[in-house]
Homo-oligomer: A and B are copies of this chain.
Amino acid sequence: MRLRADLLPHGAYSDVVLVVDVLRATTTAVTYLERGAEALLLTATPEVALAQRGEGIVLAGERGGWPIPGFDLGNSPAEAATQTFAGQSVVMNTTNGTAAAHIAAASGKHVLLAALTNAHAAARRARALATEEIAIVCAGTDGRVGLEDVYAAGVLAEYLLAMGDFTTDDGARIALTVRRSSGNPAEVLAGSGHGVYLGGIGLEEDVRYAAQVSVSTVVPVLDPAGEVGDVLRFVAG
């Protein structure tokens, strides 16, 4: 079995893909499903998100960390954790995470969303589904590698290596090195470039929330019955 980590989204995935955007899209996605949402609809653009408006639909997303005008929610896991979404579908559009999910879905057989909060469950689910390769795809920030995503990729890789034999690529080895050489996750996330940015606009609570490791067993899974188009439908797996 191959374990691959792309420190930025690349494409050409043959089997299972774990999409990681710790600050904050995949962390928030896990939280929406934990808080009762029936499905997550990840859209390619804000315009596609707005076109989903309707009964039982909540629009959520950000640009540059700020909520998108006309949307109901931003992209805050701490805020999502205080609400319930029973009977609702959450439409998500974010700067990096939803784009990474679309790149993953273009080729991957099974696409899961992973964060630190659901890391162990996501690794276990990936291992159960995979027949040849698990690819961890770090969303990054605006086309540049994010320390928080590489750290989370290392946490996922460490769980996976404990579950069986893998050959590892350069990206997986870099992620494991970062994971093993770093301090606690709260410090890593708060010190990352995007963590510092979010702290600066008053969102340090989200950074702290995202640093919790394996506190959730919810894994958002791309609905195999859904089409892969402008909208990706994820359900709790």
Interface residues of chain A, those whose CB is within 8 Å of chain B, are 6-8, 10, 143-147, 150, 169-171, 173-174, 177-178, 180-182, 192-194
Residues on the B chain within 8 Å of A181, using CB = 177, 180-181
Which of B147, B170, B178, B193 contacts A146, CB < 8 Å? B170
Tell me whether B174 and A10 are in contact (CB under 8 A).
Answer: no
Assuming the contacts A177-B177, A181-B180, asked whether A10 and B171 have C-beta atoms less than 8 A apart, the reply is no
Assuming the contacts A144-B6, A145-B7, asked whether A192 and B178 have C-beta atoms less than 8 A apart, the reply is no
Can you sample 5 A-B contacts with CB below 8 Å?
A7-B7, A150-B174, A170-B192, A177-B181, A180-B181
Which of B150, B170, B178 contacts A144, CB < 8 Å? B170
Question: Smallest CB–CB gap between A207 and chain B, Å?
Answer: 14
Residues on the B chain within 8 Å of A147, using CB = 170, 173-174
Residues on the B chain within 8 Å of A192, using CB = 170
Which of B146, B171, B180, B193 contacts A145, CB < 8 Å? B171
- Can you add 16 more A-B contacts, CB < 8 Å, to A146-B170, A174-B174? A6-B144, A8-B145, A10-B143, A10-B144, A144-B171, A145-B145, A145-B171, A147-B170, A147-B173, A147-B174, A170-B193, A170-B194, A174-B178, A177-B178, A177-B181, A178-B178
Question: Smallest CB–CB gap between A144 and chain B, Å?
Answer: 6
Most B CB within 10 A of own CB, among A150, A169, A174: A174
5 closest A-B pairs (Cβ-Cβ)?
Answer: A147-B170, A170-B193, A7-B145, A177-B181, A181-B181
